Protein backbone atom coordinates (compact mmCIF):
# COMPACT_ATOMS: atom_id res chain seq x y z
CA UNK A 1 0.00 0.00 0.00
CA UNK A 2 1.23 3.46 -0.92
CA UNK A 3 -0.13 6.81 0.27
CA UNK A 4 0.44 10.41 -0.66
CA UNK A 5 -0.30 13.28 1.73
CA UNK A 6 0.27 16.95 1.09
CA UNK A 7 4.04 16.81 1.61
CA UNK A 8 4.83 13.15 2.24
CA UNK A 9 4.87 9.82 0.46
CA UNK A 10 4.20 6.78 2.65
CA UNK A 11 5.27 3.42 1.34
CA UNK A 12 6.17 -0.07 2.53
CA UNK A 13 9.73 -0.74 3.54
CA UNK A 14 11.92 -2.90 1.37
CA UNK A 15 14.95 -4.92 2.46
CA UNK A 16 17.27 -2.62 0.50
CA UNK A 17 16.11 0.33 2.68
CA UNK A 18 18.04 -0.93 5.67
CA UNK A 19 21.03 1.41 5.29
CA UNK A 20 18.94 4.57 5.04
CA UNK A 21 16.71 3.33 7.87
CA UNK A 22 19.76 2.71 10.03
CA UNK A 23 21.15 6.16 9.27
CA UNK A 24 17.88 7.82 10.38
CA UNK A 25 16.90 5.81 13.45
CA UNK A 26 20.30 5.01 14.98
CA UNK A 27 20.02 8.09 17.19
CA UNK A 28 19.54 7.62 20.92
CA UNK A 29 17.27 10.70 21.09
CA UNK A 30 14.89 8.96 18.65
CA UNK A 31 15.13 5.38 19.91
CA UNK A 32 14.64 6.22 23.60
CA UNK A 33 11.09 7.35 22.70
CA UNK A 34 10.20 3.97 21.16
CA UNK A 35 9.02 0.96 23.13
CA UNK A 36 10.27 -1.83 20.87
CA UNK A 37 13.54 -0.56 19.38
CA UNK A 38 16.83 -1.51 21.04
CA UNK A 39 19.73 0.78 21.84
CA UNK A 40 22.21 0.77 20.33
CA UNK A 41 20.24 0.29 17.11
CA UNK A 42 22.42 -1.87 14.88
CA UNK A 43 22.62 -2.58 11.17
CA UNK A 44 21.13 -6.02 11.88
CA UNK A 45 18.15 -4.37 13.61
CA UNK A 46 17.61 -2.18 10.54
CA UNK A 47 17.90 -5.17 8.18
CA UNK A 48 15.32 -7.07 10.23
CA UNK A 49 12.84 -4.16 10.38
CA UNK A 50 13.15 -3.28 6.69
CA UNK A 51 12.40 -6.87 5.71
CA UNK A 52 9.22 -7.24 7.81
CA UNK A 53 6.16 -8.28 5.79
CA UNK A 54 3.04 -6.14 5.69
CA UNK A 55 -0.09 -7.16 7.56
CA UNK A 56 -3.06 -5.99 5.48
CA UNK A 57 -5.00 -5.04 8.64
CA UNK A 58 -2.01 -3.46 10.37
CA UNK A 59 0.07 -1.69 7.71
CA UNK A 60 3.24 0.18 8.50
CA UNK A 61 4.93 2.70 6.26
CA UNK A 62 8.25 4.35 5.69
CA UNK A 63 7.69 8.09 5.66
CA UNK A 64 9.53 9.68 2.77
CA UNK A 65 9.97 13.27 1.74
CA UNK A 66 9.76 13.54 -2.05
CA UNK A 67 11.95 16.10 -3.74
CA UNK A 68 12.45 16.92 -7.37
CA UNK A 69 16.25 16.80 -7.14
CA UNK A 70 16.77 13.31 -5.68
CA UNK A 71 14.92 10.13 -4.74
CA UNK A 72 12.49 10.47 -1.83
CA UNK A 73 14.38 10.56 1.46
CA UNK A 74 13.35 8.30 4.30
CA UNK A 75 12.53 10.49 7.31
CA UNK A 76 10.70 8.09 9.62
CA UNK A 77 8.06 5.40 10.04
CA UNK A 78 4.37 5.29 10.92
CA UNK A 79 1.94 2.44 11.23
CA UNK A 80 -0.53 0.30 13.08
CA UNK A 81 0.30 -2.58 15.40
CA UNK A 82 -1.55 -4.91 17.72
CA UNK A 83 -1.34 -3.97 21.41
CA UNK A 84 -3.25 -6.68 23.25
CA UNK A 85 -6.85 -6.38 22.06
CA UNK A 86 -6.32 -2.85 20.74
CA UNK A 87 -4.87 -1.43 17.53
CA UNK A 88 -2.08 1.02 18.27
CA UNK A 89 -0.76 3.90 16.18
CA UNK A 90 2.98 4.38 16.36
CA UNK A 91 5.48 6.62 14.62
CA UNK A 92 8.95 8.12 14.76
CA UNK A 93 10.84 10.75 12.80
CA UNK A 94 14.55 11.35 12.42
CA UNK A 95 15.60 14.19 14.68
CA UNK A 96 16.33 16.67 11.87
CA UNK A 97 12.65 16.47 10.85
CA UNK A 98 11.13 17.15 14.27
CA UNK A 99 8.91 20.20 14.69
CA UNK A 100 7.81 20.52 11.04
CA UNK A 101 4.37 18.88 11.26
CA UNK A 102 5.46 15.72 9.45
CA UNK A 103 4.49 13.40 12.33
CA UNK A 104 0.93 14.71 12.48
CA UNK A 105 0.62 14.64 8.68
CA UNK A 106 1.78 11.02 8.51
CA UNK A 107 -0.36 10.00 11.49
CA UNK A 108 -3.45 11.61 9.93
CA UNK A 109 -2.87 9.65 6.73
CA UNK A 110 -2.63 6.36 8.64
CA UNK A 111 -5.75 7.21 10.67
CA UNK A 112 -7.59 7.55 7.34
CA UNK A 113 -6.34 4.10 6.34
CA UNK A 114 -7.45 2.68 9.70
CA UNK A 115 -10.97 4.00 9.07
CA UNK A 116 -11.05 2.43 5.60
CA UNK A 117 -9.83 -0.87 7.06
CA UNK A 118 -12.77 -0.83 9.47
CA UNK A 119 -10.93 -0.26 12.73
CA UNK A 120 -13.30 1.29 15.27
CA UNK A 121 -10.77 2.59 17.79
CA UNK A 122 -7.06 3.33 17.94
CA UNK A 123 -4.85 3.68 20.97
CA UNK A 124 -1.51 5.41 21.27
CA UNK A 125 0.82 6.35 24.05
CA UNK A 126 3.87 8.44 24.62
CA UNK A 127 6.50 8.31 27.29
CA UNK A 128 5.87 10.99 29.89
CA UNK A 129 9.25 12.59 29.16
CA UNK A 130 8.26 13.05 25.47
CA UNK A 131 5.42 15.61 25.63
CA UNK A 132 5.94 16.57 21.96
CA UNK A 133 4.50 13.20 20.96
CA UNK A 134 1.45 13.90 23.10
CA UNK A 135 0.93 17.16 21.23
CA UNK A 136 1.05 15.27 17.92
CA UNK A 137 -1.55 12.79 19.16
CA UNK A 138 -3.91 15.53 20.32
CA UNK A 139 -3.44 17.42 17.04
CA UNK A 140 -4.66 14.40 15.05
CA UNK A 141 -7.69 13.84 17.27
CA UNK A 142 -6.59 11.51 20.05
CA UNK A 143 -7.88 12.20 23.55
CA UNK A 144 -6.06 11.41 26.74
CA UNK A 145 -7.66 8.52 28.59
CA UNK A 146 -6.37 9.89 31.89
CA UNK A 147 -4.47 6.64 32.35
CA UNK A 148 -0.79 6.10 32.63
CA UNK A 149 0.91 2.75 32.55
CA UNK A 150 4.38 1.41 32.90
CA UNK A 151 5.62 0.27 29.52
CA UNK A 152 8.90 -1.46 28.89
CA UNK A 153 11.34 0.47 26.73
CA UNK A 154 13.79 -1.88 25.06
CA UNK A 155 16.20 1.00 24.41
CA UNK A 156 16.17 2.15 28.04
CA UNK A 157 16.07 -1.38 29.42
CA UNK A 158 13.43 -0.45 31.99
CA UNK A 159 9.78 0.33 32.57
CA UNK A 160 8.87 3.91 31.64
CA UNK A 161 5.69 5.86 32.38
CA UNK A 162 3.49 6.03 29.27
CA UNK A 163 0.58 8.48 28.93
CA UNK A 164 -2.30 6.73 27.18
CA UNK A 165 -4.57 8.15 24.44
CA UNK A 166 -7.43 6.86 22.31
CA UNK A 167 -9.25 7.81 19.15
CA UNK A 168 -12.81 6.65 18.44
CA UNK A 169 -12.95 6.04 14.70
CA UNK A 170 -16.69 5.49 14.78
CA UNK A 171 -17.14 9.24 15.29
CA UNK A 172 -17.80 11.17 12.08
CA UNK A 173 -14.66 12.43 10.40
CA UNK A 174 -14.26 15.74 8.65
CA UNK A 175 -15.30 15.29 5.04
CA UNK A 176 -14.69 17.50 2.06
CA UNK A 177 -18.22 18.87 2.49
CA UNK A 178 -17.27 20.14 5.94
CA UNK A 179 -13.95 21.63 4.84
CA UNK A 180 -14.22 25.41 4.25
CA UNK A 181 -11.26 25.30 1.85
CA UNK A 182 -13.07 22.75 -0.31
CA UNK A 183 -16.23 24.90 -0.33
CA UNK A 184 -14.20 27.91 -1.54
CA UNK A 185 -12.64 25.82 -4.31
CA UNK A 186 -16.04 24.67 -5.59
Domains of the chain: 3-185 (3.40.630.30)
Predicted TM-score of the model (pTM): 0.89
pLDDT in tens, 27-62: 999 999 999 999 999 999 999 999 999 999 999 999
CA 97 remoteness from chain centre? 13
How far is the C-alpha of 164 from the C-alpha of 171, rounded, in Å? 19
How many angstroms separate the CA atoms of 145 and 164, rounded?
6
Q: Distance between CA 115 and CA 105 in Å, rounded?
A: 16
Calculate the average pLDDT of the chain.
91
What pLDDT is recorded for position 173? 58
pLDDT tens by residue, 127-167: 999 999 999 999 999 999 999 999 999 999 999 999 999 99
Amino acid sequence: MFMRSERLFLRPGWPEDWEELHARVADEAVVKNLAKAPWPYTADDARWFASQPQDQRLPHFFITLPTSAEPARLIGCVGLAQDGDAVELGYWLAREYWGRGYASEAASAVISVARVLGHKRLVAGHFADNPASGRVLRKVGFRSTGRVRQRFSLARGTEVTSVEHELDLAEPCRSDDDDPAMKRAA
